[in-house]
Each structure stands twice: as C-alpha cells, then as structure tokens.
Chains A and B, each alone.
Chain A
Amino acid sequence: MTSLGEFTILLALVVAVFGFLAPILGARRGHQALLSSARNSQKVLAGLLTISVIVLVYAFLTDDFSIEYVASYSSRTTPFFYKITAFWAGQKGSLLLWVWLLSVFGYLTVWQNRHKNQQIMPYVQVVINGTCVFFLTLMVLVTPVFEKLVFPAADGQGLNPLLQNPGMVFHPTTLYLGFVGFTIPFSFALAALITGKLDDDWLISIRRWTIFSWFFLLVGNLLGAQWAYVELGWGGFWAWDPVENASFMPWLTGTAFLHSVMIQEKRGMLKVWNMALIILTFFLTIFGTFITRSGIVSSVHSFGVTTLGPYFFGFMGLTLFVSIYFLFIRLPLLKSKQELDGILSRESSFLLNNLLLVGIAFAVFWGTIFPFISEAVRGVKITVGPPFFNQVIAPLGLGLILVTGICPLISWRRATAKNLLINFSYPFAGAIAASVLFLALGMRNGYGIISFSLSVFVVTTILLEFLRGASARHRLTGESYLTSLFNLTRRNKRRYGGYIIHFGVILMVLGITGVMNFKVEKEASLRQGQTLTFNQYTVRYGGLTSWKEPHRDVVAATLNIYNGGKRVATLKPEKAFHKGQDQPTTEVAILSTFKEDFYAILAGWDDQGTAQFKFLINPLVIWLWIGGGVITLGAIMVMWPDRRRRIKEARK
C-alpha cells in the first residue's frame, strides 16, 4: 500500500507538470486537443491525490508504523477517530491535505467553467497546477509523507494530547478550505492579467469561491479559537500567536476584497486595487504556510524547525514577482473612469472600510515581523504579544464597527443630507441612548461603552434596513409583513445575506468586548467540602476522583456551583496524564449561559486533599460562537444559487 501512495504522489507531480505546461502550449498554438487533454488532467490529478489520501488514512487505521509519519503521530492506543485526524497533525500530512484540496478545487473549477471563460481558463489551470507542482515537489523531494523507517516501530509516539479534541478535526480542515480556496480567485485574477481579458467576467466567476474561502477561513479561525478556549485551559480564545495572525491576515484582506469588488461590479472602479487585494490575499495564505513551516517563529501551532522555509520564501517571491509584473504591464487596460458626485458616498465608505481592514492586516503583519526587524537592526530579540495587538487593533477595530454600520445605508455616488438624516438618525440616537444607559448602570470601561454603543448603532441600521424593505414590499404587494420579509430576503440573498453576516459580526464583537474588558478571575486553594464565593457564584469543592483509560489517566475535581442559593451545575475540571507525554493536559469545565461563562480550571492538588483552582467569569463569550453561527447562515444565503441569475446567464 505504501508503494501505491508513493507512486500516486510521484505520478501526480508528473500530471501537475503536464497540467501546467499543456494549457500554455495549447492556448498559444490554439491546439484544442491539448487544451482538452489539459482539462482532463485536472480530473486525473484529483483522482491520484485522492488515492494517496486514502492510502495514508488506511496506514493510520492499520497502525502501519513502518511509515515514519504514522509512527510519529499515532499509536496503537490512539482512539479510532483521532487516527483519522492524525492524517493532518504533522507537516507532511498537512501538505498532502493542502495539495489534495487544491487538486479537487482545480477539478471543480474546470468543470464549472466547461462552457464559459474559455479564453482565460487555460491560464487559470496554469496557476492552479503551478501551485500544485510546488507543493508536490516538496512532497517528493523534501518531505515525503510515505517515508519508511529503517526499522519499523513496534508502536507509534501517539498524537499530541492537545490535538485530541473534536475541534481539531474541523479547525485545520476548515482553515485549509479557506487557505486553499483563495487560490481559485487568485488564479482567475492572474489569468485575466496574463490574457488581458480584464472585463468583469472573471469577477463574477470567482464570487462564490471568494465567499466560500472567506467563510471557511473565518470558521477555521473561530473553531481554532473555540479549541483554544476549551482545550488550552487559560480561559482565552485568541493569543495573537504568529500562526494565528497568519490565518487572520488573509481573512482581513479577503474581507476588504469582498467589499471593494462591489464597487467594481456596480461602478467599474477600483480595478487595480481589487487585483492588488486578491494578489495580497493569496500571498498572505502562502505567507501563513511559510510562518507555520519555516521554523522562524516559536508558536504552539508551528511544526517546529524544518527545512521548508527557503522553498516557501522562494515561492512567495516568485508569486509576487509574476503577479506584480503582469499587473504592471496591464495597467493601461485596468484604467477606469473614476467619478463621484460627492465625497460622502457609499464608494467612499467602502474605501474607508478597505483602509481599515488593510490597515488592521498591516498592523498584524507589522507586529508579527517586528521581532525580526528588531533583531536585524538592534541585535535584540523582543516579543510582540497580546498587549501590543490589543492596544493597536482595538481603536482600528472600533472604527471598523462604525463603518460596518455606515457602509450599507449610505447612497451610491453622493449622500445627501436628507439621506443621512433618514438612514442614520435612529441608529445614532440608539447609540447615544445606549452610551447613557451603560454609564447610568455604572459601566466605566471606555472601550466597553464605545464598543457596545457602536454595536447598538450597527444593529439598529440593520434592523431598519429589514423593516424598511419589508414595509415597502408590503405596500407594493399587499403581502403580510412576515411574508414580505421572507420574500424580500429570498429575492435579494446577496444583500440581506450580507446584513445577516454583519449582524453575526456584531454578535462576535459583543463576545470579544465582554471577555477583553470585563473578565474577572480568582485563584483559590480549597479543602474537600470547603466553599468559595466568587461574584454571584458559590463554589463547593466535593473532592477528587481518578480513573484510567487506555491512553491516559485522569484526575477530576467535583465542583458544585450555586447561584442565588440554588445549585446550577456540577463541574468536573480535569487533569489528564497521557502515555508518553511529560506534561499533563488541562480539561477545563465550563458553565455557559447567555450572560457569561463560569470557567473552572484544576491547577493542582496535594496529598492532604487540598486542590488549587483558577476560576474565571468570562462575560458574553457565548455570543462569539453564536455570532459564528449567524455568519454561517448569512454566508449560506449569499452563496445559495440564484435562479434568476442563472436564467440570466443562460440567456447570455
């Protein structure tokens, strides 16, 4: 089986090289048979890499410890479920996951465009297969996933216990769907630049791929945050680690692209800027991969010191050079008539939105690379951690929330005083009223008050937009308000799906603001039967219990939680001692409500029966996850096929 895996990867490299060269030759010489063959090669490439994936998963499931990768990330006692997820736990497997997804996306793209975009599709394939060639070359020459051990191990080292969490099943895969997905919009952009076919067709073709990639990048980040929250045991969800930053940056530039592309679609403006944004987004996805694999940063997420850094660096350089070269030579074709009737317009607010999104991405990038700059200039190694990012990003983030409220409601071309008054008087009044209320309730945290008030502003703009739309439809059609609202949303999925996404973002803002500004914590040593009062909660420690599982020993504390004299939960925070691991892992216990999370960590214990705990009250954190769910709903709505548009395209 192992030989089959090795063979399919080698053959996939050959096919990818063919898929890279054949479209160039076919397009240049007008050789239809060659182009057709290139299209078929996409199917073959996806098929071959699917076989490689199956072979690797089979090796994990059958404990084939003759393979170095399997021996490093699995063991006989690793639960069945995690034997499958161990596939992408290490560098070699994650590279295979990357290139496999890209090959499948490549095939889907070719299939989707079998009857359209014939002029640029050969070059779309060139870019996709060029990227595949890079990854496959690494897999063949530098990090072969099916590398055999000279002496097969009797048992494997097992999977890192921190990765044995359901979140780790979906976090890497969704993140990769986002990372890899952005290759497709980039391929179309570069193909449009290469061919000089720079009308809006390529933009329309990548619309769904962009929202798909953006959505999965967000979900990947959120699942990672959720994993950190429940698994790492420190009570937070985002540590501004370089690898976390690396997955956040392309999401920010991707978000900027999703917005600015609307101006190109509606007004034909910002063509160069949109090209630059999608190139930057793809570049940042590769930069993220480089950060994780180069060993240049210390991170809980990185794959340690590896030899892949220079290869990724070279690929990033090549990508940037080729993209900028074609962007430069096509500048004359990208010139568009930039006209506005007034500075205050939706176009301007979108540009402000882009400025803030790209500004935040730059601040994150700057903070991530500043340690290297410091070392190069001063010879002093420094750390740029959470205090820096929180202080720099927070004011920019607040500005972005404000723009989130303004963008959708301001008029295209020019906003008149009447337009501003109609659209913003209620939201503005709502925000002011909220500020006064928060102050009256005793809130004195500046960031908290501003953030919550801005959230009220945005939510009011969204609600008003739904209400006005439904009312107008009700007047026109005579439908009930509820039916009007449903039909309005159904017939304008992109617009109202976008509003729902904005609403989800605001819910996330509530969660982030709550934890960042109002978190309280307490450490305590408790004897069995002793109680502790923490805010409105009373905690009674009931003692320790322990048990053995095939792959770990577990010690758990029993905590009865009372609120207002009534028992509301029994929590069991744990420490788990995994076989072959020096450090125990922390399994936190959480009582989650819409208002706050009561978060309990078992820190240690002694022979006298006293246990040490850390308790946190994280306000509103649940809204971060609910916001993710609402965004999912909005994204599905935006991506949902539009029957009217399909008919329109078919007529074309």
Chain B
Amino acid sequence: MKRTAFIGAAILLVFFGISQAATLKVADLDDELICQCGCTMVVGNCSCGTADQMRAAILEKINTGMSKGQILSYFVSQYGERILAAPTKKGFNLMAWIIPFLAVGGGGVVVYVLLSGWVIPARRREEEEPDSTSSPSVDRYKKRLERELKDLD
C-alpha cells in the first residue's frame, strides 16, 4: 500500500514537474522583467541584444526545471528588485498595490456621506412645506423646470 502511494506520489510529482516545465514559456516571464539595456521597457517589448540575452537566460532556467517564482528570484538576486516590472505584493511594496484602492474606497465613502447630507434637507423641506410643493401652480412650474433642464442638457 505504502509502495503504491509512493509510486503514485512520485508519478504525480514527475507529472506536475514535467507539466510545469512544459507549460512555462519565456513569454510568461519576459513581461515581468525590465530590460537592463536602459530602455526602461519590459524584456518582452525590447528587441535589443540585452533583451535577447535575458530571454535566453529565462529559457535556460526554464529548461533546468525552475519555477516562475524561482526564476524571478534568480534575476532579483542578480540585478536587484528594480529588475521586476512591478513591485512585489508583500512588505512595504504592498502599499503600492492597496493605496489606490483605499483612496478610491475612502473617496467613495466621502462622496456617499456628502450626498446623504445633501439629500436630507430636501426631504425635510418637503415635510415642512407640503402645501407649497403640492399646489398645481408649483407642480406646473416644477414640470416646466424639469423640461427646461432637460432641454438645456
């Protein structure tokens, strides 16, 4: 039983390893690394000699069975974090990713609070002056105003 499980696990491991090596392509990585020729473009977009060398290095690492994360780590160890086309999603760099959404979310809350504040007085006025808003002349005026606002649009 144990032997069968071992063989099964080994098959799975080999299959997983092979399938990963088989599916991982240079194109999966070259848009995540910045070319070091000084062009500031990702490797996938640059056609210079440096980009060719970097693509060759990626292919070599893929062929040795390295995973995507391992290959990226290799390049970071060689060139530093700036070789990555985007900040990592951990530690201080996480700020880069979450601040824009926090800002928009916070802005959304502010907008909602503001709008709510603007709505209440209008309702209160309706309650306080029911006669003035329900008279036929005011209704006519309101309709006309709505129409003009729409025409002016």
Contacts and interface: CB of A to CB of B under 8 A. Distances in A.
Contact of A355 (B100, B108, B153): B108
22 contacts: A235-B45, A299-B40, A338-B114, A338-B117, A339-B122, A343-B116, A348-B115, A351-B111, A352-B108, A352-B111, A362-B103, A374-B96, A381-B82, A383-B85, A384-B86, A385-B86, A386-B85, A388-B96, A392-B97, A392-B101, A396-B104, A412-B150
Interface stretch (B4-12, B15-23, B30-38): B30-38
A461 to B, nearest CB: 14
A495 interface: yes
Interface string A341-381: 11100011001100110110011001100110010011011
Contacts of A463: none
B40 to A, nearest CB: 5
A412 B32 CA distance: 46
Interface in B71-100: 80-87, 92-93, 95-97, 99-100
Nearest to B117: A338
A470 to B, nearest CB: 15
Interface in A218-256: 232-236, 239, 241
Interface of B: 27, 31-32, 34, 38-42, 44-48, 80-87, 92-93, 95-97, 99-101, 103-104, 107-108, 111-112, 114-119, 121-123, 146, 149-150, 152-153
B87 A351 contact: no
B81 A266 contact: no
A550 to B, nearest CB: 25
Given A298-B38, A492-B153, A383 B82 contact: yes
A422 interface: no
B95 to A, nearest CB: 8
B40 A339 contact: no
B31 A386 contact: yes
Interface string A376-417: 011011111111100110001000000000000000100000
A348 B45 CA distance: 41
Nearest to A602: B47
B149 A266 contact: yes
Contacts of A392: 97, 100-101
A157 B46 CA distance: 25
Nearest to B153: A495
Nearest to A298: B40
B84 A382 contact: yes
Given A341-B119, A412-B150, A583-B48, 14 more contacts: A234-B41, A234-B45, A239-B45, A298-B40, A299-B40, A338-B117, A343-B119, A348-B111, A352-B108, A355-B108, A382-B87, A385-B86, A388-B85, A495-B153
Nearest to B84: A383
Contact of B87 (A236, A358, A359, A374): A374
A385 B35 CA distance: 12
